[in-house]
Amino acid sequence: MSQLLPVLVLAIFVITFGCVLLWFSSLISIRGKDDPVKDETYECGLPSENTGPTKISVKFYLTAILFILFDIEIIFMYPWAVTYGDFISGGHGLYVFGAMAFFLAVFVFGLFWEVKSKALEWE
């Protein structure tokens, strides 16, 4: 708890700071005339044509999903990296290296396959 509290306090302070600034600038800002065109979405001066859903390349989803998978693999290396020195000092260096070597081999194979399958290519 003692470590969490300052983080929460800072987060709340930043939010308050932001809100107060937004409120203050809305108080002293200069108001122009209201105009329906002004409220329109900015599309370089043309009337906006926001009809129907936007089509987006599936690559964005693919990138995001592959990111999650690789991110999990990388997260699993953190406890390994932090205990690596202790394992070596304890005389089990080769064991812990081997344990990770298999995992890393799968990781490298996965990455190699993704590159090879052109899943990561944006044209």
DSSP string for residues in 14-74: HHHHHHHHHHHHHHHSPP----TTTTS--STTSPP---SPPP--THHHHHHHHHHHHHHHH
Q: How far is the CB of 102 from other proteins (least distance, A)?
A: 5
Binders of other proteins among 70-99, rule CB under 8 A? 70-94, 96-97, 99
Q: How far from the centroid of its chain's Cα atoms is residue 27's Cα?
A: 35
Q: How far is the CB of 47 from other proteins (least distance, A)?
A: 13
Please give the structure tokens belonging to residue 35: 């105009």
* # chain residues binding other proteins, by CB under 8 A: 101
Residue with tokens 């709340």: 12
Binders of other proteins among 2-61, rule CB under 8 A? 2-11, 13-15, 17-19, 21-22, 24-26, 28-32, 36, 38-44, 50, 52-61
What amino acid occupies position 38?
K
102 touching other proteins, by CB under 8 A: yes
Q: How far is the CB of 12 from other proteins (least distance, A)?
A: 10
